[in-house]
Amino acid sequence: MSEESKTTLTCAHCGDDCGKHPVVLNDQAFCCMGCQTVFQLLNTNKLGKYYEISSMPGIKVGNDQIPDDEKYAYLDLDEIRDRLLDFSDSGISKVRFFVPGIHCASCIWLLENLHTLHEGIIRSSVNFPKKEVSITFKNEEITLRKLVELLVSIHYIPEISQQSAEKTRSSKSSRTLLIKVGIAGFSFMNAMLYHFPQYLPGSEQLEIDFRMLFGWLSFFLSLPVLFYCASDYFLSAWKSLQKKIISIDLPIALGLITLFLQSTYEITTQNKIGYFDSLTGLVFFLLIGKWYQGITYEALTFERDYKTYFPVAVTRVSDTGKDTIPLDQLKAGDRILVRNQELIPADSTILRGNASIDYSFVTGESIPVSKNEGDFVFAGGRQVGSAIELLVQKEVEQSYLTQLWNQNNKAEENDQSMSGIVNKVSQYFTLIIISIATGAAIYWKFEDPGKALFAFTSVLIIACPCALALTIPFTFGSTMRQFGRKGFYLKNADVIEKLYRTNTVVFDKTGTITHSQTAHIRFNGDKLNTEQTAMIRSLAYHSTHPLSKIIYNHLQSEESFEVTDFKELPSLGISGKINGTTINLGSKYFVTGEAGGEENLKTQVWVFIKDHVVGYFQFENKYREGLQETITELGNHYTLHLISGDNESERENLLPLFKDEAVLNFNQSPTDKLEYIRRLQEHGQNALMIGDGLNDAGALNESKVGVVIADNIYHFTPACDAILQAGKFSKLDRFIRFSKTSMTIVKLSFLISFLYNFIGISFAVLGSLSPIVAAILMPLSSVSVVAFATFAVRLSASKARL
């Protein structure tokens, strides 16, 4: 089957390098059996076009990621099935899956042609931005479990979690907003047509019947705009009034009501047509701004709780056998089976099997921790290797990490600070406008009483802060999009203002400033010759211990030897004989016989060959590229802190970067981290926390801005305000500092809109505000503010080299 080739082959399925031993089938090379199987499956089903739409579109699924046969057994449970299905009636069901693997046109094509792979699938359609596939299928011909297994077999692994089972449909509100925009646009365009004749020279000759017809039509058109489209502004203005806050919505609501009343008054008593075009246009522009700000990253989830992370069901072991139960029925005292690549759902002790637990999601540490029978394990780790049996000690909700996660809800306290700058400005703005309006009214009362009321309403109308209200959505919305293009994804536009207020940056160490995936291995001791290297590698091959695996992958050798007398001693090491030569790998105590190793805080694996200790492998964290520049840059403008759950082994390396002994904190538990942030913020600091794992979840929640750094942004991340792509770490300082530029643009836009207001108000105070001035000035101010904000952000983003 396989043949050696000098040139590097790329896998026909996934495009990866095939390595030295490609799998070859019909002249096509594959990097692994998994890829080859999918390729074959698709070709026999005449789905070969998958490979024509995009080149090498396949998804590689490593051997260790392939789920166990029994993994999806829980989908046969009725109550879980019912929770997952969108709809099920008369034998036909519909289900939606989040598939993070969707990445190209080929994916869409294949997933929409799923019916060719199985008779039971009626229809399937992909929502690419959401990375969702919704499938309609016949219950009789394919079960939900079979369906999921089918998707897994073509390497499109759906993410099924507690939350996906409970998710609410959020698209409703965005649809309502779109409908509102549509109605407002419709009314605006028509009202503009009816008002246009009045603005032309010679309009005085227009028949009064026409004018009234147009006037009344505009009046009826404005009704749905005022009462339906703009209802949110009235509601929020009323709500903030009740809380005794003057928000930006108050002058808007005041302006809208005055516009409507003044126009209605003019149309009923003065045979004039009023300002309905300005009214509908205003609402239309405001809603457009709202819609623009609301476009967020649909495939990313920022508000995950532990439910997204934990599985939907677990395998319970009892004397009678195994059964699958939903996670929420798990009780303390239950015995559960955790297979390869499965999560430990609750704090428990190990009953049987050698656990090697990957806590990278929790701590960011990529090297799995090995545990033995009787040891206590925290929830959140992922078992790597053979299945283990656990005795549950605490219920899921009571486990250490989940408790930490649920401790605080910051959603509420932050509501107030939302677009704080606009609200602060609008407080003064509203007061000033009302006093100008009253002043004008009083003046005209003495000069020309007939004009008093008109001047008063004119000021309120023309001062309606449409441009002001549009500034934030467009400036922050464009900033958010610029960030997104460069790999920094914000939860919503308000995060920019919080970024601006940040004055302290707190780092987590493992997985945040160090790489989470690659550990740096160094060999200390005599230089290894090729034979020794081959021997160590051959021995390591036989062990399932994570450190052995890393050593095996790290060392390179052409030869491999046969190992006899292989022994694996739990938590000590491995030993064996190669051609009669003894070779031992393991802890210092095991290999050298000397106790200790505690004084050295780094992970080490010692090597003994034949008759002496050759040396040891040292595992070190590798720092991210550009760490030094980023930290130095940030250090010039912000106070820096480091809180790490690890021991102090890296203190010396980090001290030159952070410069201050006091800000380096090691051996911090997740609760310590949370407390640390809380203390900082009690002392008036606005902290930005950068972390990656579940152990940072509490601190991320507590901080004003929680940033999560992730290698794959679609994979699980703790709840946060922003997600930073791991590769973009070196640009972090530019992102944070760009929030200041954004804020400057906001202030400049405010100036522009005030300028327009000044012009408008001078007309209004003089009592000479005609509909045409309103009709020109109001859209013009909005459009110029929007244009300025958008272009300024673009320009400065390219200048700042984000």
Binding residues vs another protein (CB under 8 A): 43-47, 53, 105, 108-109, 112-113, 115-116, 119, 125-130, 171, 174-175, 178-179, 182-183, 186, 189-190, 193-194, 196-197, 200, 202, 205-207, 209-210, 213-214, 217
Distance CA 39, CA 33 (A): 10
CB of 172 to another protein, least distance (A): 10
For 642, the 3-state DSSP assignment is strand
CB of 84 closer than 8 Å to CB of 165: yes
Q: Which is nearer to another protein, 294 or 597 (CB)?
A: 294
Which amino acid does the sequence have at 494? D
CB of 206 to another protein, least distance (A): 6
CB of 388 closer than 8 Å to CB of 350: yes
Cβ of 133: how many Cβ atoms within 10 Å?
A: 24
Distance CA 388, CA 601 (A): 29
Q: Which is nearer to another protein, 43 or 686 (CB)?
A: 43
Q: Which is nearer to another protein, 129 or 333 (CB)?
A: 129
CB of 151 to another protein, least distance (A): 18
CB of 128 to another protein, least distance (A): 4
698 DSSP 8-state letter: H
Q: 704, exposed or middle or buried, with CB in 10 Å at 0-12, 13-18, 19+?
A: buried
Closest CA to 289 of 196, 197, 177, 380: 177
- Tokens representing 712 are 């794959």
Q: Which is nearer to another protein, 316 or 481 (CB)?
A: 481
CB of 279 closer than 8 Å to CB of 263: yes
Distance CA 385, CA 589 (A): 25
CB of 297 to another protein, least distance (A): 13
Cβ of 527: how many Cβ atoms within 10 Å?
A: 9
Q: Which is nearer to another protein, 713 or 797 (CB)?
A: 713
Q: Which is nearer to another protein, 210 or 376 (CB)?
A: 210
Q: Which is nearer to another protein, 23 or 539 (CB)?
A: 23
CB of 60 closer than 8 Å to CB of 32: yes
Count of CA atoms in the C-beta half-sphere (13 A) of 384 = 21
CB of 155 to another protein, least distance (A): 20
CB of 178 to another protein, least distance (A): 5
Q: Which is nearer to another protein, 53 or 453 (CB)?
A: 53
Q: Which spans in 270-376 are helix H?
A: 276-294, 306-309, 360-363
CB of 116 to another protein, least distance (A): 5
Q: Which is nearer to another protein, 196 or 238 (CB)?
A: 196
- Tokens representing 118 are 């199985």
Strand order in the sheet with 705-710: 488-490, 722-725, 705-710, 687-691, 504-508, 639-643, 664-665
Q: Which is nearer to another protein, 173 or 416 (CB)?
A: 173
Q: Which is nearer to another protein, 228 or 443 (CB)?
A: 228
- Tokens representing 578 are 């190669």
Matching residue, tokens 């609760």: 671
Strand order in the sheet with 376-377: 321-326, 313-318, 335-338, 388-392, 348-352, 376-377
Q: Which spans in 646-731 are helix H?
A: 651-658, 670-682, 697-702
Q: Which is nearer to another protein, 108 or 722 (CB)?
A: 108
CB of 119 to another protein, least distance (A): 8
Q: Which is nearer to another protein, 49 or 424 (CB)?
A: 49
CB of 13 to another protein, least distance (A): 18
Closest CA to 341 of 145, 61, 64: 64
CB of 112 to another protein, least distance (A): 7
CB of 287 to another protein, least distance (A): 13
For 160, the 3-state DSSP assignment is coil
Q: Which is nearer to another protein, 337 or 713 (CB)?
A: 713
Distance CA 507, CA 521 (A): 24
Which amino acid does the sequence have at 295? I
Closest CA to 428 of 438, 418, 436: 436
CB of 46 to another protein, least distance (A): 4
Closest CA to 345 of 356, 336, 358: 336
Distance CA 616, CA 611 (A): 15
Alpha carbon 261 to chain centroid, angstroms: 45
CB of 167 to another protein, least distance (A): 15
C-alpha distances (whole Å) from 149 to each of 97, 282, 478 are 13, 53, 41
